[in-house]
């Protein structure tokens, strides 16, 4: 029944809103290059939980000392609600408290059975920057049943008459006892549920501010615009990352990229192009050895080769283009990384500026998915508006062989690692990867 979390001693106060707070006006949804869509069913695989708690009853109700046993069964789930300008949802806690008790007075002992059904709801909202909420609302329905009675007249001729009289008196007091039971359940459920959700959302806001946004700012990829919305059963977060507002416009895919996966991630190629500029790749001077190390970090180079194991040869200086050093193309289920640079073997300007095309395609082999490199493309580029002279076949072959030798099959993970996921929850599986119409689409279930 309880939500658990770990938070620092000083947690930011959670904001409460009387009504849905709209986002500032922003660009239409098609101008965002990163989209995340999650279904309610998938989210509840992470959030939903069922708990069973046993306890004792030791109370004084309407002048009687009451003791016995109780069992509380509860289930927590998330209910996504429609909203055009933010993500709206409700935590819903349903439960039943079943009791077996006896009430002792000087005159009699009454044996009873009770069932209190409760539901607690607490709204939450996410506008792309922080979570906010309202106070919880709790409703309880109680039903008590008097099962029998014991008096000092048990075993005597007066037992039936006395027992019937005591049961009738207890039945008259049953509505008052049920009202007390409702209030006690509400008083126990409300503060704990309300505080647990507040603490969890406050910790999430603190994580967003001190960890996520701090890291995004350091990398220069803080979203410049974003939009949140939700439907009856899905939430949708969209943002523009590492791209300027004015010249930035992308085209929606011509056909649906993914089926009804629980979690869908859509990344437009413009994010990678702009991120390369943010990372300082434009005009960068490096070498083939340094480039190989960079490809290793990206998982696109042969990771088992070290400097000592590199093939003998002349080190090549690389100067990336100052305007468009890198372009990523997603189409026809293929990812093509285009690098524009000048290659200078041993520092000599023997080659014209080149466009190097590194294609990758998803393949399946022995139950494993791989991102497999294809035939490397080599094309000369002209300078100062002049057309480029074609490369000699022998030179083109040498350059292609040198680059191809540095590439390898990239294994695609079958699922998110357990170490990076919530303890006790099954990590989602990567079930689909598509490249189409400028988009990379990833489906998880």
Domain ranges of the chain: 15-22+46-207, 267-431
- The 10s digit of each residue's pLDDT in 320-372 is 888 888 889 999 899 999 988 888 877 777 788 889 999 999 998 877 888 99
- The 10s digit of each residue's pLDDT in 20-57 is 323 233 344 567 888 899 999 999 988 999 999 898 88
Is 70 exceeded by the pLDDT of residue 415? yes
Mean pLDDT in residue range 287-297: 69
Cα separation, 47 vs 90, whole angstroms: 12
3-class SS at 437?
coil
Residue tagged 């005597």 (tokens): 156
Cα separation, 202 vs 10, whole angstroms: 10
Tokens of 285: 């001077």
Query: Cβ atoms within 10 A of the Cβ of 185, count?
Result: 22
Q: What pTM value is reported for the model?
A: 0.80
Sign of the Cα torsion 390, 392, 393, 398 reads negative
Which residues lie below 8 Å from residue 78, measured CB to CB, with a gap of 6+?
40, 43, 44, 47, 48, 89, 90, 91, 92
Cα separation, 114 vs 207, whole angstroms: 43
Most confident listed range (123-137, 393-407, 431-445): 123-137
Helices 174-207 and 159-172 meet at what angle, rounded to 10? Answer: 50
Residue tagged 């080599």 (tokens): 378
Which residues lie below 8 Å from residue 327, measured CB to CB, with a gap of 6+?
269, 273, 337, 338, 340
């Amino acid at each position: 029944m309880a939500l658990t979390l770990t938070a620092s001693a000083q947690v930011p106060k959670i904001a409460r809103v009387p009504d849905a707070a709209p986002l500032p006006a922003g660009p239409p949804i098609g101008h965002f290059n990163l989209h995340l869509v999650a279904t309610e069913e998938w989210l509840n695989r992470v959030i939903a939980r069922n708990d069973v708690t046993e306890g004792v009853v030791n109370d004084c109700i309407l002048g009687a000392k009451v003791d016995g046993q109780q069992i509380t069964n509860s289930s927590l789930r998330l209910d996504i609600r429609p909203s055009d300008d933010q993500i709206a949802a409700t935590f819903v806690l349903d439960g039943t408290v079943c009791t077996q008790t006896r009430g002792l007075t000087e005159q009699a002992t009454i044996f009873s059975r009770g069932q209190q059904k409760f539901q607690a709801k607490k709204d939450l909202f996410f506008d792309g920057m922080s979570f906010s909420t309202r106070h919880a609302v709790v409703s309880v329905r109680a039903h008590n049943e008097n099962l029998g009675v014991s008096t000092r007249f048990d075993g005597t001729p007066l037992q039936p008459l006395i027992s019937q009289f005591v049961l009738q008196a207890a039945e008259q007091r049953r509505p008052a006892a049920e009202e007390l039971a409702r209030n006690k359940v509400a008083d126990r459920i409300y503060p704990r549920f309300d505080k647990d959700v507040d603490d969890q959302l406050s910790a999430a806001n603190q994580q967003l501010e001190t960890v996520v946004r701090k890291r995004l700012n350091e990398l220069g990829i803080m979203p410049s615009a974003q939009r949140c919305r939700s439907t009856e059963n899905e939430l949708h977060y969209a943002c523009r990352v590492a791209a300027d507002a004015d010249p930035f416009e992308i085209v929606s895919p011509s056909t649906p990229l993914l089926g009804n996966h629980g979690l869908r991630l859509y990344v437009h190629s413009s994010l990678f192009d702009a991120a390369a500029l943010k990372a300082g790749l434009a005009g960068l001077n490096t070498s083939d050895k340094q480039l190989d190390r960079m490809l290793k970090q990206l998982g696109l180079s042969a990771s088992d080769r070290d400097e000592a194991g590199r093939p003998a040869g002349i080190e090549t200086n690389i100067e990336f283009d100052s305007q468009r050093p890198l372009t990523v193309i997603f189409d026809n289920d293929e990812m093509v990384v285009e690098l524009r640079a000048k290659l200078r073997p041993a520092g000599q300007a023997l080659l014209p500026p080149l466009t190097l095309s590194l294609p990758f395609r998803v393949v399946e082999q022995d139950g494993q998915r791989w991102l497999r490199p294809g035939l490397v493309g080599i094309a000369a580029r002209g300078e100062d508006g002049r057309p480029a002279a074609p490369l000699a076949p022998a030179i083109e072959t040498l350059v292609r062989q040198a680059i191809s030798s540095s590439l390898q099959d990239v294994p695609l993970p079958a699922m998110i690692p357990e170490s990076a996921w919530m303890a006790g929850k099954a990590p989602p599986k990567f079930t689909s990867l598509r490249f189409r119409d400028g988009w990379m689409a990833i489906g998880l279930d």
